[in-house]
Copies of this chain bind each other. A is one copy, B any other.
Amino acid sequence: MAESLKSLAALSCPTPLTTRDRVLLGHGSGGKLSAELVRDIFLPAFSNPALAQLNDQAIVDINGTRVAITTDTFVVKPLFFPGGDIGSLAVHGTVNDLAMGGAQPLFLSVAFILEEGFSMDVLQRVVNSLKRAAADAGVQVVTGDTKVVEKGKGDGLFINTTGVGVVHAGLELSANRARPGDKVVLSGSIGDHGIAILAQREGLEFESAITSDSAALHTLVAEMMEVNSHFSQNRGEVGHPIRCMRDPTRGGLSSALNEIAEQSQVGIELDEQAIPVRDEVKGACEMLGLDPLYVANEGKLIAIVEPDAADALVAVMRRHPLGKDARVIGTVGERNAGMVTMRTALGTTRIVDMLAGDQLPRIC
């Protein structure tokens, strides 16, 4: 995720930080306030080529190997939710950020902040879940750290995972590579994670249970890379049909696409009817006044792909369990550079802006 960095993209209406002298919950939203924080505080301090790309992961060179590094802290509340818990989420989130950079995830560090009085049994359950998720994803937890803060100075358990992986040879993925004509591919339905968390937190009950989509996407990405090579070979050149990938977590699909539109200085036009939203998620969103485009996902990805490779990519993705509902949901264009628009089911077109406030705090 590392949304604090990537979310710089869609600052269509910059507000000076001087008007906000205190940290707000929205500064952690992955939306506009997060982007302000990055723009005004973090980027000026740490300018370097890897950071400046504002991707979800840094790609650095270590003795000729392209190594991806990404970090993410998990403060999700509650710790356990349908479809996962903070332990599995801490693995999936970081594995996915590596995968979105085209990297094979290899190593994780895990750092815990425990609140004094936290249940040792619950810690054990979280660690067991983290262990299973890491083993399933084929990543090794190689180092760790634990800090304890006094009762009332934390909230049970926070987890930071930092991941290291090796980028697939020859790949060049970045949010500034989208070009007019490219297609936007989405791997499956949106909104499941955010609604599952919210329902659990607020004790909401729906007719059918809503489950988080939390999952590690790197095996899906590995298969997508095959299409990539295939097309590259056919064209007899080094280029890659996949321009960039993102997992639409905090801030949802809208934030991820706004970032790409902004960084690539292109317009992205979505087709509302093509975007899969489960009926129960749609119903919950309507009831709660939420827009699924802004709700977090933890097991979905979007890929910007050259037009002539889109169908082949979707076909390959559909053979993978995590991509079985993959489809083209939009097109990259020249008009409305830096903006995301959507043709609605009613035939009108509306602007899909970046998340302004904080729709759902502590979703990951």
Contacts and interface: CB of A to CB of B under 8 A. Distances in A.
Given A5-B144, A63-B63, 14 more contacts: A1-B145, A3-B146, A17-B120, A23-B116, A28-B146, A45-B128, A46-B134, A48-B140, A62-B164, A62-B166, A149-B158, A149-B362, A160-B160, A164-B164
Number of copies: 2
Interface residues of A, number: 84
Contact of A58 (B60, B75, B142): B142
B116 A113 contact: no
B164 A69 contact: yes
Contact of A63 (B41, B65, B134): B65
A144 B4 contact: yes
A5 B144 CA distance: 7
Interface in A158-202: 158, 160, 162, 164, 166
B45 A131 contact: yes
Contacts of A24: 116, 148
A30 to B, nearest CB: 9
A51 B141 contact: yes
A117 B2 contact: no
Given A45-B131, A67-B62, A67-B164, A28 B114 contact: yes
Interface string A101-123: 00000110111111111111101
Contacts of A149: 28, 75, 155, 158, 362
B22 A57 contact: no
B72 A145 contact: yes
Interface string A59-73: 010111101011111
Interface of A: 1-5, 17, 20-28, 34, 37-38, 41-42, 45-46, 48, 50-51, 57-58, 60, 62-65, 67, 69-75, 106-107, 109-121, 123-124, 127-128, 130-131, 134, 140-150, 152-155, 158, 160, 162, 164, 166, 361-362
Given A63-B63, A160-B111, A23 B117 contact: yes
Contacts of A74: 147
Contacts of A112: 4, 73
Contact of A42 (B1, B26, B127): B127
